[in-house]
Structure 1
Amino acid sequence: MREVAGVANVLFITADQWRGDTLSAVGHPCIRTPALDALAADATLFRRHYTNAYPCGPSRATLLTGLYPHTHRSVRNGMPLDARHGNLAQEVRRGGWEPLLFGYTDTSLDPRGRPPGDPARDTYESVAPGFTPVMNLSELSRGWIADLLAKGYDIAEPGQGREPLYDPDPAGETAPGGFGPTRIRAEDSETAFLTDQVLRHLAVRQGQPWFVHLTYVCPHPPFAAPAPWHMAYDPAAVPAPLRGPSAAAEGEQHPLLAGLHRAVPLSKFLNHAEGPASALDAAGVAAVRAAYYGLASEVDHHLGRVFDFLRQSGQWDDTLIVFTSDHGEQLGDHHLFGKLGYFDQSAHIPLIVRDPRAAADAGRGRQVDGFTESVDILPTILGWLGLPVPRQCDGRALLPFCHGETPGDWRDAAHWFYDFGNVRERIESEHGRLQGNECGVQVIRDARRKYVHCTGLPPLFFDLERDPGEFEDRSRDPAYAGEVLAYAQKLLSWRMRHEDRTLSHITLEGGYFEEEPS
């Protein structure tokens, strides 16, 4: 392994809605991810990595700014990200790299100062400032659909976007107990198309430093895969969901959980499906899980193509590779689908970091059990490039772990935020109608306990040693009263330590200007 010299490249990959347990490298009972497993064997894998927010827009706001959601406050899809907050692309651009985007960032741009007719005022799918969008694939997926039209596909309404293209092919072979394939061939799928675009572009960038943010939409729903990926997993052999006997029984745990069971339609995950997602039976859940794993394996296959290109072109040892996700997916656990609520499945995501330098040889193949978070990605990438990390960044660089070290003062818990304001009318509260600013859910989770604080609803507390599945709320159990108080205080102290500090290091007094060192 040689040191990175004149050329330093970054390949920053996200796969949308990829659960943290969905890698064979961490012992998943059925998923096959050979490309990512091989990457992990030559890199550092972080087993307890968590997003700091969900759904898509909030998670990527945190990922790209390095700020906790209570600071950047873009906490729902469509909630604007204040323009004063810098991001990874802008910092990289200042350092001399052009940050190229293949995919999307789901950024709700600050509308202030924009004229009423500006299209950016009408979407949460704008591109984060600083990126050069080489291939912008929002939900409209215009680039992909244009490619399909050029290849002769009959697309009835090209302006409808990606979701209709995941309808099953009535002429296709249906997987036993599962779904039929999409009518888009595997070589023309959304994942294949985006990979082709990246490889074509990198082919003309050899010998020049580059920065690529590659953002796959899969395995995000609709949960339908092209052939042969739709048959990659037998629904009868996938792991059963972690859930109680019924949604009604589990919903007794908390009004938020009961409300989410009512609020989320199955059509968000399966085209043309009806009814609430929580009502899907065991066979249906198994079929969805098999399709989800097929989509994930398809992404892994195409990542293998990208990794092979880097090796064959001699760029493997010049390139920092970061693979992660924006958030997880409930996948039927606790009778939920999507990224919502307070359970680990929505927040736990994968993270693999490959530092090509010789200094990282001690960390190759290492699996880290310390708690890491999405806010750590920005300082990790900037640190590797030798660029300064903005003072207000809430995360910390992970490079010491990649070098075989463990910082002595590392965090002992993960933290994340969820705002259910978009479905608040379906969440019953004994205190009456919830206001928009009463829909926050803040979680602190360590190796032993998990405390969930809700702004306008009761808290929850889980003893993860006794109840790793999070079925027993102990917040009102007198035996846990002291611990509930201690975790609430710990959460408050954490929030206070991470308030916005853009200017808090400067003092203007007595005729002098004083700035605290970083």
Structure 2
Amino acid sequence: MNCIVIVCDTLRVDHCGPYHQGRPVNRVMSPEQPDWVVPTPNMDRLAARGTVFEQAWAGSTPCMPARRDIYTGRYEFLERGWGPLEDDDYDLPRQISGSPNGSLTRQLAQGYPVSYMVTDHFHLWEQGAGNYHMGYTGFEFIRGHEADAWKTDPVDFPCPDERDHKVERHFRNVHLTRKSESDYFCAQVFTHAAEWLKVNQAHENFYLHIDCFDPHEPWDPPEEWLKKFDPRGYAVGKWTSMVPYDRWENHYTPDEMRHVQARYAAMVALTDHWLGTLLDKMDELGLWDNTIVIFTSDHGTYNGDHGRIGKLQTHQHDACGHIPFIIAHPHHGRGERRSQLVQLVDIYPTVLSAVGRPCPPDRHGVDLLPVLRNAQAPTRDYAILGMFGKSVSITDGEWTLHQSPVASNQPLYWYGHSTAKFIPYGLGPFENGRRAVDCPSWPMPTWLSDKRHDPSERINLLQTRPDKLADMQRALAAKLAELKAPAEQLERLGISGQSG
């Protein structure tokens, strides 16, 4: 069986057709969203062939921690933050294809599937995380997105953001290389992936990993796509392609905020449009009969929800933590939906099962192929997610607890040899396999939500439901024990006295 995994960065679940099902965005999850419907016909097309998981949750956030969950099948955020793969990680492409950089002929003769990555996600090769591509049989990088240090030509170019911001690199890059819509990054990613399928379709049991940085910022869609959501297009006052990770009222008027939401929606619609290039190629080549396709995102983003915009700054409420997750299987679950809890760590064992490779022990993920075959097959009782050193969230799909650390945010340790580069933390010397971490206190109060009656998590039941708070804290303590998380996490979170 072949397997294709598609990860679109920063894709809100309520902007995806299989989840909004034609409803205006403000009636799906968050009333702070606009009243428009975001058309995603190709996500709908994929869902019609596959199974839509309604209770899919991220794990470690943001971008690269989520990818380490995917590449190792283990939650990263309880042990360290943003960083590279470690030497003792059983990363997914190596489990599929064996040792890289050898003879492809020998690899195939030994029965290993071919693995290939197509991406424009520059974090994969920059300092602080730059080795996620190394295990593949082959890879293709699309250059130039966001802060990719690529073009240096001393030319003048339009840049809506401040010139001292790293995104200045993006606008220099696109000024020198972008001539038409087909040069937009999501277009290049899916076009290259489709071309790879055409040339490599004869391989047996291949694994294609597509990591598309869109619809992550910068949000600079073609104007005709923007006008679908804001008829003014770019004929507005000052606009920027990046957003501050903050309360939006500190930076925007309501009209300006609506324009930001329009640019994000346009990037989602554009990304979906070019996803169709890949799906068309699968139709043309008849690959649906022997290929599993997994479509998901690393996380969402706040876009007015809880008064905020951007990521990182508060708990993993639905706008960030609830993600799209669709699996199209040749024989099972066509056009169906599932309510089991699934997470990004599940990609690892599912892919290995699909391509016929063994799964190493001590993984946190669940093979989802049995769930496609049997709608009653279990996955997990609780999903867990968070960002290193911040709050830890746990949900059973009906209740969600966002447990904040104690005021000192201690004790906290960073496990592994890597150091904090992209997102800095105060790290001590490496001793006994870990580094002590000096992490600022977390300003957000612990939050308890009843999602059956409050799906957008606007009401904190911390004080009015102490019984349920205790239940969820016990569940969190038990989950951390099950995962063999560092013991000090219970003390840091103030739940060391809870029992499973």
Coarse TM-score class (shorter-chain normalised):
0.7 to 0.9
Aligned positions of 1:339-418 closer than 5 A? 339-340=311-312, 341-342=314-315, 343-356=317-330, 358=331, 360=332, 363-407=333-377, 409-418=378-387
CA distance in 1, matches of 2:115, 2:63: 20
2:82 pairs with 1:66: no
Task: State the match for 1:83 in structure 2.
Answer: 87
Question: Which AA in structure 2 matches 1:97?
Answer: P
Task: State the match for 1:441 in structure 2.
Answer: 391
What is the aligned counterpart of 2:180 among 174, 181, 185?
Answer: 185
2:470 pairs with 1:485: yes
Task: State the match for 2:97 in structure 1.
Answer: 93
Alpha carbons of 1:190 and 1:334: their partners in 2 closer, same or farther (altered >3 Å)?
same
1:11–1:211 Cα contact (<8 Å) kept:
yes
Aligned positions of 1:88-167 closer than 5 A? 88-94=92-98, 96-103=112-119, 122-132=127-137, 134-137=139-142, 164-165=169-170
Question: Which AA in structure 1 matches 2:381?
Answer: D
Question: Which AA in structure 2 matches 1:349?
Answer: I
Question: Which AA in structure 2 matches 1:486?
Answer: D
What is the aligned counterpart of 1:221 among 217, 221, 225?
Answer: 217
Which runs of 5 or more structure 1 residues have no equivalent in the other structure? 1-7, 109-118, 171-181, 237-265, 420-438, 502-518
Which runs of 5 or more structure 2 residues have no equivalent in the other structure? 25-36, 99-110, 160-164, 233-238, 408-444, 487-500
**Cα displacement string for residues 136-166 of structure 1 (whole angstroms, at most 9, x for unaligned residues):** 24766799977x99xxx98799xx9865545
- What is the CA RMSD across the aligned residues, in angstroms? 3.5
CA distance in 1, matches of 2:181, 2:455: 38
Alpha carbons of 1:55 and 1:142: their partners in 2 closer, same or farther (altered >3 Å)?
closer
**Cα displacement string for residues 16-36 of structure 1 (whole angstroms, at most 9, x for unaligned residues):** 000122212222420111111
SS at match of 2:387: strand
CA distance in 2, matches of 1:129, 1:163: 28
SS at match of 1:402: helix
2:329 pairs with 1:329: no
**Cα displacement string for residues 422-446 of structure 1 (whole angstroms, at most 9, x for unaligned residues):** xxxxxxxxxxxxxxxxx33110122
**Cα displacement string for residues 17-64 of structure 1 (whole angstroms, at most 9, x for unaligned residues):** 001222122224201111110110111011111100211011111122
CA distance in 2, matches of 1:190, 1:296: 13
TM-score, structure 2 normalization: 0.73
What is the aligned counterpart of 1:306 among 264, 267, 278?
Answer: 278
CA distance in 1, matches of 2:156, 2:137: 31
What is the aligned counterpart of 2:463 among 453, 457, 476?
Answer: 476
Task: State the match for 1:496 in structure 2.
Answer: 481
CA distance in 1, matches of 2:241, 2:230: 23
Alpha carbons of 1:319 and 1:276: their partners in 2 closer, same or farther (altered >3 Å)?
same
**Cα displacement string for residues 467-517 of structure 1 (whole angstroms, at most 9, x for unaligned residues):** 33322222233xx2222111111101011011179xxxxxxxxxxxxxxxx
What is the aligned counterpart of 2:7 among 10, 14, 32?
Answer: 14
Between 485-494 and 209-218, report the one with greater CA deviation: 209-218
Identity %: 25
CA distance in 1, matches of 2:147, 2:138: 13
Provide the aligned length of Structure 1 versus Structure 2: 406
CA distance in 2, matches of 1:274, 1:473: 22
**How far is the alpha carbon of 1:132 from its aligned partner?**
4.3
Question: Which AA in structure 2 matches 1:462?
Answer: S
Aligned positions of 1:200-349 closer than 5 A? 200-209=195-204, 210-234=206-230, 269-270=242-243, 277-279=248-250, 280-340=252-312, 341-342=314-315, 343-349=317-323
SS at match of 1:483: helix
**How far is the alpha carbon of 1:316 from its aligned partner?**
2.5
